[in-house]
Structure formats: structure tokens, C-alpha cells
């Protein structure tokens, strides 16, 4: 019978083994680039020197292949040795702010492949209290006074529930608990999975929470940052399609810097990966870009449902248009956008928005697509960046105002 490792040791071993594997992959990629460039150089030399260049190429290839093999092999050995080292007394990385941040970054980049390569690092969606995962049926026990109004904070790509404290100790949820009597719930999930997959998991979790909550739930507010806003919308859409009861209690979905119409950076990477694949010298870089997670790919068009990615070539330049997911009429939808410039009309602000999301995408208003979000249901924060929306006093004042409406 195999003895199960403690959570802390299992996570540390998986992380170190993954680091070793990624080092080997990086070295192999560099070796491929080196070989492609040298092959082109020697092919040119052969045009002038003829067969006399062949012995030099043979020696060059033998030496470089040997060097890269040694470096790659040492990285693999170091990873295996490090992963076997016991770490008594060290807390599980997932339970610490720093460790959770590292895991979130890994998940955001390659989280969809971790289930096969390192399942211990593929964090299932859970509610968290002080970094620890809490089951939905006992979640209320961790609240001083469970109320009938729940506010659920859904973080974005490569983030955790700790991100809501960026810039201040009191989160939006904490302040809404004090000012308006909401019970704050904080979610953590693997942001490398498809948005629709995380939406389905969120729907199941909220159904369990509502079923086990000690007082009848009267209101649910979902606050999502960036990808989190899309996950919240996907969860409500799937719940409504399935006739789930919990969605009838959702009063507001508030999206902070969410790319409803897609994110330009992911769009650029998509085309860059295809372009780099045409040349042997840059093909390893193309393979690296194509490793990006399903969650990142979904940001290209703001995809919320399985139909946007099922049975499709993820690297195809031309794919079908993202399905239009209508706003649920029973829910009030709000949005917050930002630009790094003081004026949203400044050329730089129009070009890069908050650094990751353009204002038109965050407000659901583009040249070809419009979601139907009204001007009155949104606000713009000038001179702020994407992550500044996680904890911003102006944003909180808007949240409090919106949640105070009858």
C-alpha cells in the first residue's frame, strides 16, 4: 500500500519536479533554435565552400548536442533530487500567500495540463478562509454572523483570493459586510481551465452553499475581477439553462476590468504564435506560445460557453464567432473600466486601456458587438491600471451605491 505524502511535501515535490521539467523544456527549445540557425549558416557556407564545410558542421553538431544534453540532463536530475527532499514543518505552499501566488501563476499559464502532469497543483475550485479550503456545507461556520445576503468575490487570471487585498487590508467584501450586512465569500480556482469549466464548477459550489446556508438566502452579489467577471457570467448562464435554483437569488453581477469582447494581448499572441511557426529558427518560440492555457485562450474573444472551444483547433487562425451569451434580465449587471491615462480619450488610453483590457471591451461596447450594458450601470476610473481595480476606494463607493439600490 502506497503511503500518502503530507499535503505540504506533496506540493513542494510537485513544484520542484515541475520546475525541473520546465528547465529541461527551455534548454531543449534553445537547442532547437541553435540547431535551426546553425543549419542555415552551414547551408550558406556550403554554397561557397562545397563539401569542405561538412566536417566542420559534423564536429559543431556533435559538440553542441553533447553540451545541451548535459545541461538538460542535469536539470532533470536536480528536479528529481529536489522533489525527493523531505520538508518537515513547512506549510503547504497553497496555504500561504506567497505560495498560493506561485501556484496561481503556474495554473494561469498551464493550468489545463496540470491535471495530467501534476494533479496536486491543479487546485479545484473552493471557497477559502485564511488560505484553507472550506467545504460549502460548513462554510457558514466560518462566518461570525451568517446573513441572508452573500457577496462572492471571484478573482481573475493568475490571481487568488488574496489579490483582493492589493492596496489595502480591507477587501470589498469586508467593507460591504460592515456597511451593508453582506456575508463575504472568497473563491479560489484554477484560472488555466476554460472559463466555461470554471463557470460550471462555480454553479455547483453556489448550489451547495445555498442548500446548506443556515438562514434562507435572499440575495447574492457576484463581484468578478477580469476573468472572474466572465466566470461569474458563465456560471449564471449555465445555472439558468439548467434551471438551478441558486441563480434566482442573484441580484447583481459586477465586473471589474472584464474583457467581455476579448483581450488584445491574447489576440496578438494568437497571431504571433502562428507567424513564428513558419520559420525553423522561431518555431520553438511558437511552441512555447501555443502552450498557453485554455483559460488564456478564452480571453481572446471573451468565451463563456463550451461551444466556443469544443471540437475546435485552438491554434486555427479562423474560428467561428464566439457565442453571444445574453445578459439575464433578472440580474442587474454593472461594469468598471479604467485607463492608465487621466482621459479615456487620450491616444495611449485608447490604445492600451488599463494595460490589459480596453474600455470598450470592459463596457461591452465594440464596433461589431454590443452586450447591452447601459451607461448608468458602469463607471470609469481614470489613471488606474488593471490590478488597481482589485482594491480602489472609488470602485468601492460605486459598489456600495449599486448594492444599496432597492
- List pLDDT tens digits, range 390-403: 999 999 999 999 99
63 shares its domain with 127: no
Q: Is the pLDDT of residue 194 over 60?
A: yes
Q: Is the pLDDT of residue 32 over 60?
A: no
pLDDT of the residue at 35: 54
Residue 274 covered by a domain = no
64 shares its domain with 185: no
DSSP 150: E
> Given phi > 0 = left and psi -120 to 50 = alpha, else beta, which region is 25?
alpha
126 shares its domain with 71: no
Q: What is the mean pLDDT of residues 43-61?
A: 59
CB 322 within 8 A of CB 285: no
Q: Which of 206, 100, 82, 214 is nearest to 163 (CA)?
A: 100
Residue 111 covered by a domain = no
43/132: higher pLDDT: 132
CB 235 within 8 A of CB 255: no
150 shares its domain with 214: yes
C-alpha cell at 274: 502562428
Torsion of CA 154, 160, 162, 163, to 10 degrees: -70
65 shares its domain with 167: no
Residue 316 covered by a domain = no
Q: What is the mean pLDDT of residues 105-111?
A: 85
Please give the Cα distance from 303 to 263 (Å, whole number).
Answer: 11
User: Residues of the chain with pLDDT > 90: what percent?
Assistant: 50
332 shares its domain with 218: yes
Tell me how far apart the terminal alpha carbons of the chain are, to the nearest angstrom: 60
Q: Which residue has the cell 531543449?
A: 28
What are the Cα distances from residue 365, in Å, to 100, 358, 362, 375?
Answer: 35, 10, 8, 10
CATH number of the domain residue 373 falls in: 3.40.50.1820
172/264: higher pLDDT: 172
What are the Cα distances from residue 251, in Å, to 40, 254, 400?
Answer: 62, 10, 14
Residue 376 covered by a domain = yes
Residue 304 covered by a domain = no
Question: pTM for this structure?
Answer: 0.85
DSSP 101: H
pLDDT of the residue at 60: 45
pLDDT digits (tens, 9 = 90+) for 321-373: 788 899 999 999 999 999 999 888 898 888 889 999 999 999 998 777 777 77
Give the confidence band of 103 by pLDDT, cuts at 50, 70, 90: confident
Q: Which of 335, 336, 353 is nearest to 344 (CA)?
A: 353
Domain stops at, among 38, 67, 88: 88
Residue 300 covered by a domain = no
Q: Is the pLDDT of residue 2 over 70?
A: no
47 shares its domain with 123: no
Q: Is the pLDDT of residue 285 over 80?
A: no
Residue 391 covered by a domain = yes
Q: Which residue has the cell 443556515?
A: 214
Please give the Cα distance from 377 to 286 (Å, whole number).
Answer: 41
Give the confidence band of 69 by pLDDT, cuts at 50, 70, 90: low
pLDDT of the residue at 115: 76
Residue 310 covered by a domain = no
64 shares its domain with 127: no
- Domain count of the chain? 2
Give the confidence band of 28 by pLDDT, cuts at 50, 70, 90: low
81 shares its domain with 154: no
Q: Which helix (H) or strand (E) holds 197?
A: helix 195-212
Give the confidence band of 279 by pLDDT, cuts at 50, 70, 90: confident
19 shares its domain with 146: no
180 shares its domain with 254: yes
3-state secondary structure at position 184: strand
Owning domain of residue 373: 119-262+323-403
C-alpha cell at 357: 483590457
3-state secondary structure at position 157: coil
pLDDT of the residue at 89: 62
Q: Which helix (H) or strand (E) holds 126?
A: strand 126-129
Number of residues written out for the chain = 406
62/71: higher pLDDT: 62
Q: Which of 392, 321, 312, 385 is nearest to 348 (CA)?
A: 385
pLDDT of the residue at 323: 86
CB 338 within 8 A of CB 386: yes
CB 180 within 8 A of CB 403: yes
Q: Is the pLDDT of residue 305 over 90?
A: yes
pLDDT of the residue at 140: 95
Strand partners, 220: 150, 250
C-alpha cell at 388: 488597481
For helices 393-403 and 172-180, angle between their N-to-C axes, nearest 10 degrees: 40
Question: Please, what's the largest Cα pairwise distance for the chain?
Answer: 86
The phi and psi torsions of 12 (rounded to 5 degrees) equal: -65, -45
Residue by residue, DSSP assigns 243-306 as T-SGGGGEEEEEEES--TT--HHHHHHHHHHHHHTTSTTTHHHHHHHHTS-HHHHHTTTT--SG
What's the mean per-residue pLDDT of the chain?
A: 83
3-state secondary structure at position 65: helix
Please give the Cα distance from 113 to 192 (Å, whole number).
Answer: 9
151 shares its domain with 247: yes
Q: Which of 39, 245, 222, 213 is nearest to 138 (CA)?
A: 213
Amino acid at each position: 500500500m502506497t503511503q500518502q505524502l503530507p499535503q505540504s511535501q506533496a506540493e513542494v515535490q510537485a513544484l520542484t519536479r515541475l520546475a525541473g521539467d520546465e528547465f529541461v523544456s527551455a534548454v531543449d527549445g534553445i537547442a532547437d533554435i541553435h540547431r535551426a540557425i546553425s543549419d542555415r549558416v552551414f547551408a550558406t557556407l556550403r554554397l561557397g565552400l562545397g563539401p569542405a564545410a561538412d566536417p566542420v558542421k559534423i564536429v559543431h553538431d556533435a559538440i553542441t548536442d553533447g553540451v545541451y544534453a548535459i545541461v538538460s540532463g542535469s536539470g532533470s536530475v536536480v528536479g528529481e533530487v529536489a522533489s525527493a527532499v523531505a520538508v518537515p514543518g513547512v506549510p503547504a505552499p497553497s496555504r500561504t500567500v506567497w505560495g498560493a501566488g506561485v501556484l496561481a501563476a503556474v495554473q494561469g499559464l498551464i493550468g489545463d495540463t496540470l491535471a495530467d502532469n501534476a494533479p496536486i497543483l491543479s487546485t479545484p475550485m473552493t471557497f477559502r478562509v485564511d488560505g484553507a479550503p472550506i467545504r460549502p456545507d460548513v462554510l457558514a461556520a466560518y462566518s461570525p454572523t451568517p446573513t441572508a445576503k452573500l457577496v462572492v468575490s471571484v478573482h481573475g487570471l493568475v490571481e487568488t483570493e488574496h489579490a483582493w487585498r492589493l492596496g489595502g487590508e480591507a477587501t470589498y467584501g469586508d467593507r460591504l459586510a460592515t456597511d451593508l450586512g453582506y456575508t463575504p465569500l472568497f473563491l479560489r480556482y484554477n484560472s488555466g481551465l476554460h472559463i466555461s469549466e470554471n463557470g460550471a464548477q462555480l454553479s455547483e459550489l453556489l448550489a451547495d452553499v445555498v442548500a446548506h446556508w443556515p438562514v434562507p438566502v435572499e440575495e447574492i452579489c457576484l463581484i468578478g475581477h477580469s476573468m472572474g467577471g466572465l466566470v461569474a457570467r458563465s456560471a449564471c448562464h449555465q445555472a439558468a439553462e439548467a434551471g438551478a435554483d441558486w441563480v434566482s437569488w442573484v441580484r447583481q453581477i459586477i465586473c471589474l476590468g472584464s474583457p467581455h469582447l476579448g483581450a488584445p494581448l491574447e489576440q496578438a499572441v494568437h497571431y504571433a504564435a502562428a507567424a513564428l511557426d513558419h520559420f525553423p529558427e522561431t518555431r520553438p518560440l511558437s511552441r512555447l506560445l501555443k502552450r498557453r492555457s485554455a483559460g488564456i485562450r478564452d480571453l481572446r474573444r471573451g468565451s463563456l460557453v463550451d461551444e466556443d472551444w469544443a471540437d475546435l483547433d485552438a491554434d486555427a487562425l479562423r474560428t467561428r464567432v464566439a457565442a453571444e451569451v445574453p445578459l439575464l434580465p433578472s440580474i442587474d449587471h454593472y461594469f468598471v473600466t479604467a485607463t492608465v491615462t487621466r482621459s479615456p480619450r487620450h491616444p495611449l488610453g485608447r490604445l492600451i486601456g488599463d494595460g490589459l483590457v480596453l474600455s470598450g471591451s470592459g463596457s461591452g461596447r465594440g464596433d461589431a458587438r454590443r452586450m447591452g450594458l447601459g451607461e448608468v450601470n458602469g463607471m470609469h476610473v481614470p489613471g488606474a491600471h488593471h490590478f488597481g481595480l482589485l482594491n480602489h476606494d472609488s470602485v468601492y463607493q460605486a459598489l456600495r451605491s449599486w448594492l444599496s439600490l432597492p
